[in-house]
Chain A
Amino acid sequence: MSNRRKPIVSTGDRLLGAFGARTVIGIPYVWLLLLFLVPFIIVMKISISESDGIHFKDMFTISDGTLTWNVKWGNYAFLASDALYVKTYLSSLYYAAITTLICLFIGYPFAYFMARSPAAWRPALLMMVMLPFWTSLLLRVFAWKGLLANNGVINDILLGLGIVSEPIKMMNTSFSLVIGMVYAYLPFMILPLYANLVKLDIRLLEAASDLGARPLTAFWKITVPLSKAGIVAGSMLVFIPCVGEFVIPELLGGPSTLMIGRVLWDEFFSNNDWAMASAVAVVMVLLIIIPLAIFNKYQTENAAREKGRA
């Protein structure tokens, strides 16, 4: 439309530019397509396929000129009807939600004061948040066993001080499970919150104060709403992986802490029921995709707002 002249770029450069841009955008899509969507479709297919015990039947078979449609929804029906599966899903969502909330309550003040600390300190504080990533998650989760076990460090100290007469059972309870998950996922809450809070314009808080808002009111009316994007991002980053978490429930959880990740493992490797395991996985992915969609909506809204402000 506009007759403004384009900057003069050699044809070679332009080709490379367009090609380069497409590649950069394209690679992740190809990655997602090959390593997420295709496997997911395969898993979905397995979950609804008839099996003769060894092989899965093709979905469509043509014999004698008639098309047969070999689909069974039985696994899903079973999932919905078996109270244990339903309970496990609900309990996974419950533990993920509890973990997210605790991470938020610990992480928000942490991120807040980190963002308010003198600018010279911030890199060091950030470093400390990320420091745990330098060792393996497995190792760190295992270390909690040493702390929480009946003959672990904490019980030893409590017994030694005479505060308790016999060890408190902490290992393999929902307590140890949640502690482990909060511990492992806290940085994923703190980092997006920090990134958000550090951008908050101090003058907005001054303006609120000038208009009669006490510090706590200013916090609720200004800081919290403006850090909504950070809260949502941090919560999603904690909640989503927590729902399907396997390692931490396996190491720290107990018989009563039902988590879908462990059920999935059992179906695949103990029961060898691939179709059932696939059905469990598909439902789990759907459970996760819903919050992800909400997250995405926030992000686009936020991007639109940023754009409007610029």
Chain B
Amino acid sequence: MADAAQTGNSGNSSILRINKLTKKFGDVAAVDSVSIDIRKGEIFALLGASGCGKSTLLRMLAGFETPTSGAIVLEGEDITRMPPYQRPINMMFQSYALFPHLTVTQNIAFGLERDGMPSDQIDARVNAMLDLTQLKAFAKRKPHQLSGGQQQRVALARSLAKRPRLLLLDEPLGALDKKLREQTQIELVNIISEVGVTCVMVTHDQEEAMTMADRVAVMQSGRFLQVGAPREIYETPQTVYVADFIGNVNLFKGSLTVDEPDYVMIDSPEGKIYVSHGITGTQGMAVQVAIRPEKICLQRTAPTPAERESAREDGYNCVRGIVKNVSYLGSYTTYHVKLDTGMTLKVMNSNDARHDENRLDWDDTVYAWWDGSDVVVLTQ
């Protein structure tokens, strides 16, 4: 009890505290000692490859899986062993799990009826939910008479109807096609923020996590590798796995040759790299350097020192190669540039000009260069 009160006090904006939560199936830990504080009102995304334990963690929050060890504390109350039907938490299921024999209205009212709410209040609440999710016209239909997008909104309405203190979303848009998914992402975020509910969502789609979430946790083998705002995770990944998992990245392997407090230099087979910030490392240490494709410039002639003042010294942050692939993707074009060492550099440049006289083509020899501040050095 004292423990619960204490955890409730620390961090006044925290609504849910997960403490060293572990779930083992046999000998394998599907979730391995995860600790995190979820802040009130935020959308927190669990992101990771298939089988990394996202669903298992979410199902423990809902109460469908019993943790092997650890604690779940919601607003100061330990709910680790509380059955799902008593938790003030609602979940939107992966393929919605709408009750096929009930109408949209009855589906939404199901949870309210379980609370013994008077029927006039239920009607009012269901109507509010139908308005919120724009389902008025479909109130009397059965789930199988609805499109995928409409079913998704019913599932959302049903999970919001009871005003849960925490909303869990398992792959909320996984069953929708790409076009509808992008539109629904925004819609979903709008509804969630209108209601003001705290959300934990699971997704394996990094774009979805980036678009919707306030914070993202990248998971691997049941552990959190990195937790942070989408931008932070994208711009400053802490591990090779995270850098590689979130978006596209070019990785250079090398060793630290100069280690100064405000800059470092790295030697890699592809060339010398200058980084305009310090890192925690020792000279001679093996590192990887990550550069995002859109941070690289391509041109036919070697860049002049004036063009790239931040590179500081000539010969740094510039490699030469041959264009091996050009994919025009509308607003931007991606290039695959083959370097002398055999490495393929991915570059992504936006298409600002309609008619680019200087357009690069297959088998052109090009110089690729980047700014020393756009580089992330990864030591693990």
Contact = CB atoms under 8 A, between A and B. Distances in A.
B101 A225 contact: yes
A212 B97 contact: no
B85 A214 contact: yes
Interface string B53-72: 00000000011100000000
A211 B101 contact: no
Nearest to A307: B144
Interface string A247-275: 00000000000000000000000000000
B64 A212 contact: no
Interface string B106-127: 0000110011000000000000
24 contacts: A203-B95, A204-B97, A204-B100, A206-B64, A206-B84, A206-B93, A207-B93, A208-B99, A209-B64, A209-B85, A210-B62, A210-B91, A211-B90, A211-B114, A211-B158, A212-B85, A212-B111, A212-B115, A213-B114, A305-B100, A305-B142, A305-B144, A308-B142, A309-B100
B101 A212 contact: no
A212 B144 contact: no
Contacts of A207: 91, 93, 97-99
A228 to B, nearest CB: 8
Interface residues of A, number: 20
A279 B261 CA distance: 107
B162 interface: yes
Given A201-B97, A206-B64, A222-B99, A213 B85 contact: yes
A212 B82 CA distance: 12
A217 interface: yes
Interface string B137-168: 00000101100000000000011001000000
A221 B93 CA distance: 19
A222 B101 CA distance: 8
Contacts of B84: 206, 209-210
Given A210-B89, A212-B85, A305-B100, 10 more contacts: A204-B99, A207-B98, A209-B83, A209-B85, A210-B62, A210-B63, A212-B111, A213-B114, A222-B99, A225-B101
A48 B83 CA distance: 67
Nearest to B87: A210
Given A305-B144, A308-B144, A212 B93 contact: no
Nearest to B88: A212
A221 B114 CA distance: 11
Interface in A194-229: 201, 203-204, 206-214, 217, 221-222, 225-226
Contacts of A214: 85
Contacts of A217: 114
Interface of B is mostly: mixed
Interface of A is mostly: helix
Interface of A: 201, 203-204, 206-214, 217, 221-222, 225-226, 305, 308-309
A157 to B, nearest CB: 44
A210 B183 CA distance: 28
A225 B115 CA distance: 21
Nearest to A306: B144
A237 B335 CA distance: 68
B145 A308 contact: yes
A209 B62 CA distance: 10
A282 to B, nearest CB: 38
A137 to B, nearest CB: 37
A203 B86 CA distance: 17
Nearest to A218: B85
- Closest A-B pairs by Cβ, 9 of them: A211-B111, A212-B114, A207-B97, A308-B144, A203-B97, A309-B144, A209-B84, A225-B101, A209-B85
Contacts of A203: 93, 95, 97
Nearest to B170: A203
A226 B100 contact: yes
A211 B97 contact: no
A278 B378 CA distance: 93
**Centre residue among A204, A212, A213, A226 by max chain B CB count within 10 A:** A212
B36 to A, nearest CB: 21
A212 B158 CA distance: 12
A36 B99 CA distance: 41
Contacts of A309: 100, 144
B97 A206 contact: yes
Contacts of B85: 209-214
Nearest to A305: B144
Contacts of A208: 99, 110
B93 A211 contact: no
Contacts of B63: 209-210
Contacts of B98: 207
A203 B97 CA distance: 6
Contact of B90 (A210, A225, A305): A210
A19 B27 CA distance: 59
B26 to A, nearest CB: 15
Nearest to A221: B110
A302 B29 CA distance: 43
B370 to A, nearest CB: 48
Nearest to B84: A209
Contacts of A305: 100, 142, 144
A172 to B, nearest CB: 45
Contacts of A221: 110
**Centre residue among A208, A210, A212, A221 by max chain B CB count within 10 A:** A210
Interface string B20-36: 00000000000000000
Nearest to B95: A203
A162 to B, nearest CB: 48
B98 to A, nearest CB: 8
A200 to B, nearest CB: 10
Nearest to A207: B97
Contacts of B114: 211-213, 217
Contacts of B100: 204, 226, 305, 309
